[in-house]
Copies of this chain bind each other. A is one copy, B any other.
Amino acid sequence: MKAKVHVTLKNGVLDPQGKAVQHTLASLGFDGVDNVRQGKYIELDLLETDADKARAQVDAMCRQLLANTVIENYSIEITD
């Protein structure tokens, strides 16, 4: 199975990387950008063939390594 994981900063947490992108876009002439938030996108190929077990595995991975749950949210999508 494949897992697609999005890790994003929680609302209210400052995102200096996003702000830097926004300012650079403005300096390039893209002035219609109100806000930018940057997160991580992780694709995993799993040997597990059961979708529920795969999701539970990836959830544990997110909590232990992929996301800092103090300041980040994560979402998991499981596909074949």
Contacts and interface: CB of A to CB of B under 8 A. Distances in A.
Q: Number of copies of this chain in the oligomer? A: 2
Contact of A44 (B35, B41, B43): B35
B61 A32 contact: no
Interface in A37-51: 37-48
Interface string A18-61: 10010011001010111111111111111110000000010011
A63 to B, nearest CB: 11
Contact of A57 (B24, B30, B44): B30
Interface residues of A, number: 32
Contacts of A43: 8, 36-39
Given A30-B61, A47-B32, A65-B24, A8 B42 contact: no
